[in-house]
Amino acid sequence: MDKENQKRNIPKILAFVFSGLLVSAVIILFLLNSQKTKNTAEFVTQDTSDSISENNLNQTGQQGKIDPTDEQDSSNGQQQNNNLDDNTVHSTIDLSSINHEKNKKTEKAEKTISESDSDSEDSDTSDSEGETTEPSTSEKSIYSLADYNYIALTFDDGPYDEVDLEILDLLNEYNAHATFFLVGSRIDYYQDTVKAIAEQGSEIANHSFNHPDLTTLSHEALLAEINLTNEKIKEYTGITPTMIRPPYGAYNDSVLEALPYPHIIWNHDTEDWRLRNANLISNSIENTRPGSVILMHSLFPETLEALKQSLPILYEQNYRFVTVSELYEIYEVPLIPHGIHNSPADELGIY
């Protein structure tokens, strides 16, 4: 009789065990998803403004100067500094404890840039003495300042799939590209988005690993912020970035001396980080000028909606959307390692 009862109970026992396993699996999946969501939420709630005005930089004693198109007054600047202090999310990874070999990776980057320039010069002088060679049609620039108004759309603080992937789709509609300044600590979470940016033909650049103020870091920590991000980007794309944008646009002589890359700032801040309103952001985007480098952020759906409104309008006005590197090439302004660049239009004194 007991054996018969045991046989009857076997299905119940199996069902109970299976239910327990199922519940455990659901809990594990929930915890994993919560961790990813938490990571995203921390970045979204961070006041991610890279737009520190010249007044703010002067207040903190930094030597770098930013000249946004719409400069904020000093009271707004002070409020912005307070927000940064209160809301910045600090990574649990202490990069200052990483002891890199003396400047090896930085020296390698500088060597790569100089070799690229040298190769270009060699090709120009390789013809026989006294001969002049016209570039072939394929070598000539495909861009024409006489026909179009070129601007560079740039996006900071990504990758973030919910916004970046739709931005890429929108760019494809206009046969356009942009420059994405990525934060290294986010790359593992959104590796497919990083790959998609590269595959679309847009430009990937370095925005540090933890988004700190680079002027506050030791030399070793400064190199770690850039080198680790470059390693992450190369891991998923095979590309090593050749440009950086310092978080908050903050730099000084020590930062410039340590990092052998062109430091890309901007001359047109959409203030999407502050406005968080598609119509207002759209108005800001459309208030651009040829040769501008436009600052936006990958974290805000409102920025995406603003682009959907603005790109058709700008396209009808003969604007074309290119990467930062392409924009400087079009205007024939060289990007200088250790140098600061706001926009080619500014550097040529067009405005």
204 beta partners: 180
**Cα 219 from chain centroid (whole Å):** 22
Whole-angstrom distance, CA of residue 73 vs CA of residue 93? 35
Q: Which residue among 177, 211, 263, 297 is the active-site one?
A: 297
Active site residue 341: no
Question: Which residues are within 8 A (CB) of 277 and not within 5 positions of it... i.e. 6 or more apart?
Answer: 302
What are the backbone dihedrals phi and psi of residue 212, each rounded to the nearest 5 degrees, phi first?
Answer: -90, 170
What is the rounded radius of gyration, in angstroms, for the C-alpha atoms of the chain? 25
Active site residue 346: no
Q: What angle do CA 55, 56, 61 make, to 5 degrees?
A: 95
Taking each helix axis from N to C terminus, what angle separates 219-237 and 191-200, rounded to the nearest 10 degrees?
70
Q: Which residue among 50, 156, 157, 164 is the active-site one?
A: 156
- Count other C-beta atoms under 10 Å from residue 281's C-beta: 26
Known catalytic residues are 156, 297
